[in-house]
A and B are shown apart, each in its own frame.
Chain A
């Protein structure tokens, strides 16, 4: 009886442990499902607010317009229909809010009950008109033509250069400036953190006295634990004003500030991982080199560094990964302008910062909300690639060793 109970207990516990073991896999799967489910939804939607339409004169041959064309029309960058494949006719913009400029109160009616007629009238009269109004005020016998707006396409999403998620009449979801901003800031960070980090790693593992190392290493690891929002705050009060003064800029919130802060944050990661890799160099290898008459420095760069190259690479890639996914510090110091950066002295906006700044305002289920999840998908894919690369790099090393 007792034995039976014990056996049952063993099985039960094993099941429980197995369940816990699978929970991380389950979480990853759930994250993928939720992220992509919401994110891909953006491609089944139109960039125009639900319930609103764009209409033109019936004689106009234009059938559909892309989001970017519409934006340029309403920004008055495109002034003639022939630019978008229509007749040679000057574009006349009308917004429903401005209709009282053209019609008197009497014509419109007390509670805008005659709005339908006015819209019909106006669209019929002007050949080059484009009107933006809500579906509910669409006349029953509409004399104009409603324009088809395409669903958001993947190619547009990735390649368009405008990110104006709350623009009217149509929102612009071009993530190119955000992707470039993210990469720009991250590579800037690694560019200065990697060499310095490597120097420090070599110093700690090969040159420094054991006592010095035992003090410095835990302290550097401690710095990896400082919250990113604290680094961001430091950047905001020290680095941003400094950059503004040194380069004489109108604002100090720039890509450079982001790169510096991210570099400082990536240093502990790079130092710790590459130092560990260097210390794993077999002693026999180092001693063989020294015995052959090589100096300590020759041993370091001919034996230690080549041996630990994969570990150093892993450290660098992980540093980049950490920088790409970093949210708060970047959000606080880069200025968040969604423009394609040309120099490091411009404000930039990264993917994580965009999500953090805008998700609070985007209503659940709206196109904007879905677009932010699509950004999350992009971020997820980037970090997944980075993780797999690191796994690949370090695995190659293990095989070599055996």
Chain B
């Protein structure tokens, strides 16, 4: 019969203590994070109404809605994606399908990683120096969207690369063996298989871009502008900047709390929806791709 020794008893006790601590802290931290989320969501739902989403801010931004900020953020996200998506995907294709392993690839990779690590406020400085002042776009949608696009670029590149790398090499070999060219192989074989993962990455980066504040502070965001933009050289309000303004420097901070909770909820919802959408779409599309 197996007799439990002193050592093995000790071993078991240590393990129980350690695992107890880990489990406790994990649930503790998850509980904290989710109580933050729950708090903001519950508070926010009280503020949200149809008027809140569709009306202009009123009475020094203490009443009314946040319609121009929603539209502004939407425009900025679309604008930045028009810039970042094609370039990012093409760069990803170049990195995985075309360039051979060597110093060029290493260099580009290093630069992309560094770009991803640069703080968003530095993008704001750069956007202001280049787009606003040097190229004289002024505070405009164009300057803001380009700055946000640069910020999103490394994310798009990385997702594309990962999606393409996940495609089995036999597909490429089969296609090339049948006499297809490199581009034909990429376009007709590799890209369709990688498409679900690429599109998922794109949606996730939309979530990220829509909440960024620091890059738009000095390139596009307007403190208070109760009308919709008419061209790409106009300023717009944006959701994250609006939340910052009404919670720290608005005309009446206490009176605009309600609006602030609502705005925070909208920002959280954008991220949530992007995540859910990305997951659903990935599942749906990868089922479709499997048919091939």
Q: Is B260 an interface residue (CB 8 A)?
A: yes
Give per-residue flags for B207-222: 1 if the beta carbon is below 8 A from chain A beta carbons, else 0.
Answer: 1101111100110000
Kindly state whether residue A295 has any CB partner on chain B within 8 Å: yes
Partner of A199, one of B21, B119, B248, B275: B21
Q: Does A52 contact B (CB under 8 A)?
A: no
Which chain B residues border A326 with CB–CB below 8 Å? 119
**B122–A35 contact, CB under 8 A?**
yes
Beta-carbon contacts under 8 Å, A74-102 to B: none
**Interface code A369-389, partner B: CB below 8 Å = 1, 0 otherwise?**
000110010011001101100
| C-alpha gap A207/B271 in the complex (Å) | 29
| The stretch of B26-34, B61-69, B74-82, B189-197 that contacts the partner chain | B26-34
- In Å, the complex CA distance between A359 and B272 comes to 32
| Interface pair A24/B112, CB less than 8 Å apart | yes
Which chain A residues (316-336) contact chain B, with CB distance < 8 Å? 321, 324-328, 331-332
- The interface bits of chain B over 1-25 (1 if a CB of A lies within 8 angstroms of the residue's CB, else 0) are 0000000000110110011011101
Given contacts A23-B87, A220-B33, contact A227 B122 (CB under 8 A): no
Contact A226 B213 (CB under 8 A): no
Q: What distance in Å separates the Cβ of B147 from its nearest Cβ neighbour in chain A?
A: 11
Interface segment, one of A6-14, A152-160, A284-292? A6-14
Q: Mark B69-91, 1 if CB is under 8 A from A, else 0.
A: 00000000000000000111011
**Which of B35-43, B52-60, B166-174, B224-232 lies at the interface?**
B35-43
Q: How far is the CB of A11 from the nearest CB of chain B, in Å? A: 10
Within residues 218 to 233 of chain A, which ones have a CB less than 8 A from any CB in chain B? 218-220, 222-223, 225-233
Please state if B217 and A360 are interface contacts (CB–CB under 8 Å).
yes
Number of B residues, CB within 8 Å of A: 87
Chain B residues with Cβ below 8 Å from A297 are 11, 14-15, 18-19
Which of A28, A218, A238 has the most C-beta atoms of chain B within 10 angstroms of its own C-beta? A28
Residues of A with C-beta under 8 A to B154: 24
Per DSSP, chain B at the interface is helix
Contacts of A325 in B (CB 8 A): 118-122
Bound complex: CA A334 to CA B26 (Å): 27
Partner of A35, one of B36, B125, B210: B125
Which residue of chain B has its CB nearest to the CB of A23? B87
Size bin of chain A's contact surface: 35 or more
Looking at chain A's contact residues, the main secondary structure is helix
- A21-B95, A327-B121 known; A225 vs B207 contact (CB < 8 Å): yes
Residue A18 CB within 8 A of the other chain: yes
CA distance A24 to B240 in the complex (A): 26
Chain A residues numbered 343-361 whose CB sits less than 8 Å from any CB in chain B:
352, 355-356, 359-360
Which residues of A line the B interface, CB within 8 A? Answer: 6, 9-10, 13-14, 16-25, 27-28, 30-31, 34-35, 38, 196-197, 199-200, 202-204, 207-208, 216, 218-220, 222-223, 225-234, 236-238, 264, 267, 295-298, 300-301, 321, 324-328, 331-332, 352, 355-356, 359-360, 364, 372-373, 376, 379-380, 383-384, 386-387, 391
Binding site for A on B (CB under 8 A): 11-12, 14-15, 18-19, 21-23, 25-26, 28-30, 32-34, 36-37, 39-40, 86-88, 90-91, 93-95, 98-99, 107-108, 110-115, 117-126, 128-130, 133-134, 150, 153-154, 157, 181-183, 204, 207-208, 210-214, 217-218, 240-241, 243-244, 247-248, 257, 260, 264, 267-268, 271-272, 274-275, 279
